[in-house]
Amino acid sequence: MSIIRIAIDGPSGAGKSTLAQAAAAALGCIYVDTGAIYRTIGLHIWKCGADPANTEAVAAELPRLQVELRYENSRQRMFLNGRDVTEEIRLPEVSQYTSSVSAIPAVRSYLLEMQRELARTHSVVMDGRDIGTVVLPDAEVKIFLTASAQARAHRRMLELERRGTPQPYEEVLREIEERDWRDTHRSAAPLQQAADAVLLDTTTLNFQESLDALLKIVQERGNVHEAI
């Protein structure tokens, strides 16, 4: 049984995590949500009051951090200096801080080896922004998952309602557009489609249709029956 690596990149709110998680379960891989890893650093920077755009201030915090990823019932949980922060990293403030700190090269290199190590030892479905381009450039399957900003804002709004932290559509859309802009315009590992990635646009697809389309790509590209 050899290792298969499935890299899924795309903008926020494209449904990467739900789809990647379902695909990992269907394929018998572990799911690695790299956004959650970056969010753990974003949370720390928010809590310690540092300016998330100040490269030196953020870099100075890194040696104080112990970022750990654990699996409980096949679910990824994030620990910051021994404390479970899995729920806290989803706060809207953390999203904004994370978008800034993830543009800092020192943060990206600090997390690079941790992500690669997971894919060395397990078959993975890994999602993020630079998985196909930087973290796993040799991944067997690369998918660039996207949807229109409006569709993503609508889905995100429903998700926030479900979580009991509702936000108006216009505000959600504005935040998504701001994050898109920052994620694609930063100089360190900007969000971009790898040349050999397959584009999957889920604007008009429901969850099951998106999952079927994703698994079809994996089957076509990954020779998945042999690999797993």
Residue closer to ligand DC by CB (options 19, 227) is: 19
| Least distance (Å) between residue 98 CB and ligand DC | 4
Residues in contact with ligand DC, shown as a per-residue x/- string from 187 to 206 under the rule CB under 6 A: --------------------
Does 175 bind ligand DC (CB under 6 A)? Our answer is: no
Q: Which amino acid is at 110?
A: Y
Do the Cβ atoms of 184 and 129 come closer than 8 Å? Answer: no
Residue 65 to residue 178: CA distance in whole angstroms: 28
Do the Cβ atoms of 58 and 45 come closer than 8 Å? Answer: yes
Residue closer to ligand DC by CB (options 34, 76) is: 34
Does 132 bind ligand DC (CB under 6 A)? Our answer is: no
| Of residues 69-98, those binding ligand DC (CB under 6 A) | 98
Does 146 bind ligand DC (CB under 6 A)? Our answer is: no
Does 183 bind ligand DC (CB under 6 A)? Our answer is: yes
Does 99 bind ligand DC (CB under 6 A)? Our answer is: yes
| Least distance (Å) between residue 35 CB and ligand DC | 2
Does 140 bind ligand DC (CB under 6 A)? Our answer is: no
| Of residues 12-71, those binding ligand DC (CB under 6 A) | 12, 34-35, 38-39
The separation between CA 183 and the C-alpha centre of its own chain, rounded to angstroms, equals 12
Residue closer to ligand DC by CB (options 140, 183) is: 183
Does 102 bind ligand DC (CB under 6 A)? Our answer is: yes
Residues that bind ligand DC (CB under 6 A): 12, 34-35, 38-39, 98-99, 102, 128-130, 179, 183
